[in-house]
Structure 1
C-alpha cells in the first residue's frame, strides 16, 4: 500500500511539473513604439526627432513609393529641415517654386507636413504639363546613357526645374545640370526610373 501511495505521489508531481512547463505566468510587455493602429505608409518625424530615425518605407514602384523615395533623397524624409542654401521641407522646395504653386509663407509651409505633400503633388502636376510633349517623345529611349521613363523625367524636373530637363532631353543629354551638391539630371533620371506616376495629371495652373 505504501509503495502505491509513493508511486501515485511521484506521478502527481511529474504531471504538475509538465503542466507548469506549458503555462507562463510572466506578463509580456510590448514597447509602445512598435504598436501600429493602422496601415503604416510612412514615418512623419516631429520637429525635434533625429534624422537617423527616419527611413524610407518599402513601397515598390507605386506613386507613394516614388514620392517617399524622392523625399528621402532630398531630406531623409524630414519635413522640418532647411538646408544651407535655404531649400526647405521634406522635398527641399525653393522660394520661387513655392510661389508658382501658391505658397507665400515659408514658415507656415515648413511647419505643415500636409501642405508639403500637397505642394509636391501640385508641383509634379505642373512639371508634367510643361514636359508633356517630351514625355511622349522620349520615354522608352536611351538618352545620355539612361533609359528614359516618365518618373525619371519628373524626378529630374523636381531637382533641376522642367526647363533644364527639357534642354537636356532635346540636346540628347549634351546640356546637363548639377545642383550645388553635385546631383545631376542624369543621376535623378536613373535613380528614380520606372515608378508609376500615372496618378499625376498634367496641370498648367496647378496650385495648392
Structure 2
C-alpha cells in the first residue's frame, strides 16, 4: 500500500512539473511578444477620419463617468492610450499634444515630454484647466442646450477644446454650431461634443495660468 502511494505521488509530481513547464513556456512567449510591442517608442500613429455620419470606429472602453474615465476615454480616442506615439502630423504622446500647446503650459522639450508619462498626465490636467478658464462663460451659457442635434455638456466642451483649441470651440458655441471645425483627419467639434458628453469634470479647476509640473 505504501509503495502504491509513493508511485502515485511521483506520478503526480511528474505531471505537475510537465504542466508547469508548458505554462511557463506559454507565459514566456506572451511576455516576449508584449516586450516587442512596448519597445516601439516613436512609431507613427494614423488616425482615421471621423465623419459624423459615415465613420464607424471601435467603441471606447468605459472606465466610468468620473474625471479619470473622461481623460482615459479621450486618451483612447487620441492614441489608444500610448504614451510614446507620434502621429503623422507630429502630435505627441497619449493625448496627442502639439508643440505650440505644450509651450503654452510650460513644456519646451518635446522629446523629454514624450518619454515622461507622468508629465503627460500633468499636461492634460493643465491644458484642461486652462481651457476651462477660457471657456468658463460659454460653459455657463451653453451647457444643457442642443446644438446640431447634440446636447452640450461641460465634458463635451472640454474634449472639443482639447481637439480644436478653445477659440474654435468658442466660435462653434456662439454661432450655434454654424462655425464648425475639423482637424486634418476629419474629426469635428460636434463629434467630440457628442462622443465625450456626460462625464463629471467638476474636479477640473479653471486656471488661466495653469502649467504642467512634476
Question: TM-score w.r.t. structure 2 length?
Answer: 0.74
1:87 counterpart SS class: coil
2:187 counterpart SS class: coil
2:40 match: 48
Which is higher, the Rg of structure 1 or of structure 2? 1
Contact 1:47 1:80 in 2 (8 A): no
CA distance in 2, matches of 1:32, 1:151: 42
Contact 1:56 1:68 in 2 (8 A): no
Shift of 1:56: 6.1
Aligned partner of 1:114 among 95, 113, 118 = 118
Aligned partner of 1:90 among 86, 89, 94 = 94
**2:199 is the counterpart of 1:195:** yes
Contact 2:60 2:77 in 1 (8 A): no
**2:91 is the counterpart of 1:99:** no
Shift of 1:47: 4.3
Contact 1:56 1:77 in 2 (8 A): no
CA distance in 2, matches of 1:160, 1:97: 11
Aligned partner of 1:166 among 159, 163, 170 = 170
**2:124 is the counterpart of 1:132:** no
Contact 2:130 2:208 in 1 (8 A): yes
Shift of 1:58: 3.3
Structural mapping, 1:167-182, within 5 Å? 167-182=171-186
CA distance in 2, matches of 1:207, 1:32: 42
Matched length: 177
CA distance in 2, matches of 1:77, 1:56: 11
CA distance in 2, matches of 1:32, 1:120: 35
Q: Which runs of 4+ in 1 moved over 6 A?
A: none
